[in-house]
Amino acid sequence: MKKTVLLYASLIAAMVLLGYFYYPTTTPSSPWGNLNTGIRGEIDEKYVMLTNESGADYWKNALKGFEDAADKLNVSIDYVGTSNYDATEQATILEQVIAKKPKGIAIAGIESPEVLDALVKADEAGIPVVSIDNTINSPVIKSFIGTDNYFAGAEAARRLVKEVGPSGDLAVVMNSGRPNEQLRLKGFTETMAAEFPNRRIVGVANGQGSNKEARKQAVALLNQYPNLSGVFATNTEEGIGVAEAAVYYKKKLIKIITVNEDIRTLDYIKQGVITASIEQGTWNMGYWALQQLFHVKHNLLNETAYSERNIPLLPKQVYTDISFITKDNVDNFYAK
Measured distance CA(121)–CA(334) in Å, rounded? 40
The answer to whether the Cα torsion of 175, 183, 312, 309 is positive or negative is negative
Residue 31 binds to a copy of itself (criterion: CB under 8 A): no
Q: Pick from 52, 65, 235, 256 the residue near a copy of itself by CB under 8 A.
A: 65
Strand partners, 130: 106
Residue 315 binds to a copy of itself (criterion: CB under 8 A): yes
Residues 257, 301 contacting (CB under 8 angstroms): no
Burial class, 196, CB count within 10 angstroms (exposed 0-12 / middle 13-18 / buried 19+): middle
Residues 256, 242 contacting (CB under 8 angstroms): yes
Burial class, 18, CB count within 10 angstroms (exposed 0-12 / middle 13-18 / buried 19+): exposed
Measured distance CA(24)–CA(36) in Å, rounded? 12
Measured distance CA(257)–CA(232) in Å, rounded? 5
- How many residues belong to the site for a copy of itself (CB under 8 A)? 64
Residue 60 binds to a copy of itself (criterion: CB under 8 A): no
Residues 208, 230 contacting (CB under 8 angstroms): no
Torsion of CA 240, 241, 246, 249, to 10 degrees: 140
Write the single-letter amino acid at 256.
Answer: I
Identify which of residues 25 and 198 has a Cβ nearer to a copy of itself in the complex: 25
**Which parts of 285-314 interact with a copy of itself (CB under 8 A)?**
287-288, 291, 300-302, 305, 308-312, 314
Residue 332 binds to a copy of itself (criterion: CB under 8 A): yes
Identify which of residues 239 and 281 has a Cβ nearer to a copy of itself in the complex: 281
Instruction: Residue 173: count other Cβ atoms within 10 Å of its Cβ.
Output: 28
Q: Pick from 2, 22, 126, 335 the residue near a copy of itself by CB under 8 A.
A: 22
Residue 2 binds to a copy of itself (criterion: CB under 8 A): no
Q: Pick from 2, 3, 126, 166 the residue near a copy of itself by CB under 8 A.
A: 3
Residue 186 binds to a copy of itself (criterion: CB under 8 A): no
Residue 260 binds to a copy of itself (criterion: CB under 8 A): no
Residue 253 binds to a copy of itself (criterion: CB under 8 A): no
Which helix (H) or strand (E) is 87 found in, with range?
helix 87-99
**Shortest distance (Å) from residue 183 CB to a copy of itself:** 15
Identify which of residues 144 and 188 has a Cβ nearer to a copy of itself in the complex: 144
Query: Helix, strand, or coil here: 182?
Result: helix
Residue 250 binds to a copy of itself (criterion: CB under 8 A): no
Q: Pick from 46, 56, 60, 68 the residue near a copy of itself by CB under 8 A.
A: 68
For 266, which DSSP code?
H
Using the rule CB under 8 A, give the single segment among 33-41, 46-54, 105-113, 179-187 that binds a copy of itself: 33-41
Residue 18 binds to a copy of itself (criterion: CB under 8 A): yes
Measured distance CA(15)–CA(183) in Å, rounded? 69
Binding mask 117-146 for a copy of itself (x = CB under 8 A): ----------------------------x-
Residue 279 binds to a copy of itself (criterion: CB under 8 A): yes
Residues 314, 130 contacting (CB under 8 angstroms): yes
Residue 278 binds to a copy of itself (criterion: CB under 8 A): no
Residue 180 binds to a copy of itself (criterion: CB under 8 A): no
Q: Which residues bind a copy of itself (CB under 8 A)?
A: 3-4, 7-8, 10-11, 14-15, 17-18, 21-23, 25, 32-41, 61, 64-65, 68, 71-74, 145, 148, 279, 281, 283-284, 287-288, 291, 300-302, 305, 308-312, 314-321, 323-325, 329, 332-333
